[in-house]
Structure 1
Amino acid sequence: MKSNRVCIFPKDVQRITGRSERYGRLLLHQIRKHLDKQPHQFITVDEFAEFTGINIETVKDFLKNN
């Protein structure tokens, strides 16, 4: 049984956007800064979708398929 992930990682951002993994790290850093999170805290799928403007169902479907 495959579970649905809650957190987004730089490699996920790379696959979703088609940009580099370095860009993924930068984007997650910007999201943490925007949400006033600590560096050790994770970014959720919901937070990522809201910040980027990508439909949450699109992000969830993409994570299921990869």
Structure 2
Amino acid sequence: MPRICLYPKDVATLTGRSYDAAKRLVRRARQAAGKPAGALVSIQDFCRLTGLNAEEVSAALNAPASR
């Protein structure tokens, strides 16, 4: 099943930022979407804030793990 929610670890991997910077970015995406604290952040919420392409982010998150 494809993932639609982002976590700070995902954002850190996608953007190359530190984990703490990624937490702040996820928090900003949550606030920009008008969601309460603790609510999940979707790929769409994150992409609206950052301007990244949602299809590319989704493909990167849902890519099979390389072995």
TM-score range, shorter chain: 0.7 to 0.9
Structure 1, unmatched stretches of 5+, are: none
Normalised by the size of structure 2, how large is the TM-score?
Answer: 0.86
- Give the AA of the match of 1:52: T
1:22-49 per-position Cα deviation (integer Å, ceiling 9, x unaligned): 1111001111222221112111011111
Alpha-carbon shift at residue 64 of structure 1 (Å): 1.4
Q: 2:30 aligns with which of 29, 32, 39?
A: 32
Question: Aligned pairs, how many?
Answer: 64
Residue 62 in structure 1 maps to residue 60 in structure 2: yes
Q: 2:12 aligns with which of 3, 11, 14?
A: 14
1:4-62 per-position Cα deviation (integer Å, ceiling 9, x unaligned): 01100000100110011111110011112222211121110111112110011110111
Normalised by the size of structure 1, how large is the TM-score?
Answer: 0.87
